[in-house]
Amino acid sequence: MLNSQTNEEINIGFSHIAGLNMSKESCGELTLKKSFESQLIDKKREQKLIARTIDRHIMPLFCVFYFIDFLDRTNIGNASLGGIKNDLNLTSEQLSLAISAFFITYLIFEVPSNIALKRSTAAFWLSFIMLVWGIVTLCMAFTKNFQSLLVCRLLLGAAESGYVPGILYVLSKLYRPDEFSKRVAVLLCMTALSGVVSGPIAYGTSFLEGRKGLHGWQYLFIIEGVPTICLGIISYIFLFDNIEQVSWLTDDQKAFHKLYIQVPEAHIHVDVRAIIKAILDWKTIMFSLCYFLCGINLISFQIFTPIIVNGFGFSVLNSQLLSAPPSVMLAAAIYLGGYLTDKHKNKRGIIIAIGFLITAVGFMLLRILEDRWAKYGSLFIIPFGVGVQCKKDKIAANVGWSAINFPILDIRAVAVAIIIMFGSGGGVVASYLYPFKDQPTYCRYHCLYKKET
Residues 234, 274 share a domain: no
Residues 236, 278 share a domain: no
- Residue at 9 is within a domain: no
Q: At what angle do helices 325-343 and 348-368 cross, to 10 degrees?
A: 160
Q: What is the pLDDT of residue 10?
A: 42
Domain that holds residue 164: 57-240+256-261
pLDDT tens string 17-47 = 445 444 544 555 545 444 545 555 566 777 7
Q: Which of 261, 294, 327 represents a domain boundary (last residue)?
A: 261
- Residue at 365 is within a domain: yes
Q: Which of 227, 261, 295 represents a domain boundary (last residue)?
A: 261
Residues 222, 113 share a domain: yes
Residues 138-175 as b or e (16 or more Cβ within 10 Å = b): bbbbebeebeebebbbbbbbbbbbbbbebbbebbbbbb
Residues 219, 318 share a domain: no
427 or 412: which carries more pLDDT confidence? 427
Cβ atoms of 414 and 275 within 8 Å: the answer is yes
Mean pLDDT computed over 168-192: 75
- Residue at 324 is within a domain: yes
Please check the confidence at residue 139 and state whether its pLDDT lies above 90.
yes
Q: What is the pLDDT of residue 327?
A: 83
Residues 428, 288 share a domain: yes
Q: Which of 212, 231, 261 represents a domain boundary (last residue)?
A: 261
Alpha-carbon separation of residue 216 from 105, 203, 450 (angstroms): 27, 9, 34
Residues 304, 214 share a domain: no
pLDDT tens string 44-103 = 777 778 778 888 888 888 888 888 988 888 888 888 888 888 889 888 888 888 888 888
- Residue at 20 is within a domain: no
Q: What is the pLDDT of residue 452?
A: 54
Which domain CATH number covers 427?
1.20.1250.20
- Residue at 323 is within a domain: yes
Cβ atoms of 76 and 220 within 8 Å: the answer is no
Residues 157, 99 share a domain: yes
Highest-scoring range by mean pLDDT, 240-249, 378-387, 395-404:
378-387
Residues 396, 285 share a domain: yes
Residues 211, 80 share a domain: yes
- Residue at 293 is within a domain: yes
Q: What is the pLDDT of residue 230?
A: 93
Residues 324, 193 share a domain: no
Residues 280, 209 share a domain: no
- Residue at 1 is within a domain: no
Which value, in Å, is the radius of gyration of the alpha carbons in the chain?
27
- Residue at 330 is within a domain: yes
Q: What is the pLDDT of residue 395?
A: 47
Q: Count up the domains in the chain and report the number.
A: 2
Residues 344-377 as b or e (16 or more Cβ within 10 Å = b): eeeebeebbebbbebbbbbbbbbbeeeeeeebbe
Residues 102, 183 share a domain: yes
Q: Among 4-13, 130-139, 180-189, whose mean pLDDT is lowest? A: 4-13
